[in-house]
């Protein structure tokens, strides 16, 4: 007997296919950002498969948001380190 339900990876591909005309209308740099968002959804496909939703796109969006948030947290950490270095360099006499 064949599989009756699509895998989450297949659902992502189906969703991506439905956005094909929109993607084509975007500028090249925006197409790259669009592709990165769907890559983030694919990255979380194994976890997403555990959640049966009527609208799988919600799970895809959450996966995209998780990856964006991870990038933001990494950038915040880098900014904090750089600010600390700048503060230390501008006040060399202060103990660290």
Q: What is the mean pLDDT of residues 61-90?
A: 96
Question: Does 85 have pLDDT greater than 60?
Answer: yes
Q: What is the mean pLDDT of residues 19-34?
A: 98
Residue 4 φ then ψ, to 5°:
-95, -25
Query: How would residue 1 be classed by pLDDT, with cut points 50, 70 and 90?
Result: low
Question: Does 3 have pLDDT greater than 70?
Answer: no
Structure confidence at residue 2 (pLDDT): 62
Structure confidence at residue 34 (pLDDT): 98
CB 39 within 8 A of CB 59: no
Lowest mean pLDDT segment, chosen from 37-41, 60-64, 86-90: 86-90
């Amino acid at each position: 007997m064949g599989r009756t339900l699509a895998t989450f990876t297949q659902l992502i591909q189906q969703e991506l296919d439905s956005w094909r005309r929109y993607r084509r209308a975007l500028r090249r740099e925006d197409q790259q950002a669009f592709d990165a968002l769907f890559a983030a959804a694919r990255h979380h496909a194994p976890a997403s498969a555990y959640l049966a939703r009527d609208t799988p796109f919600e799970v895809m969006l959450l996966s995209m948001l998780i990856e964006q948030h991870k990038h933001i947290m990494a950038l915040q950490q880098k900014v904090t380190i750089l600010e600390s270095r700048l503060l230390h360099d501008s006040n060399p006499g202060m103990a660290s």
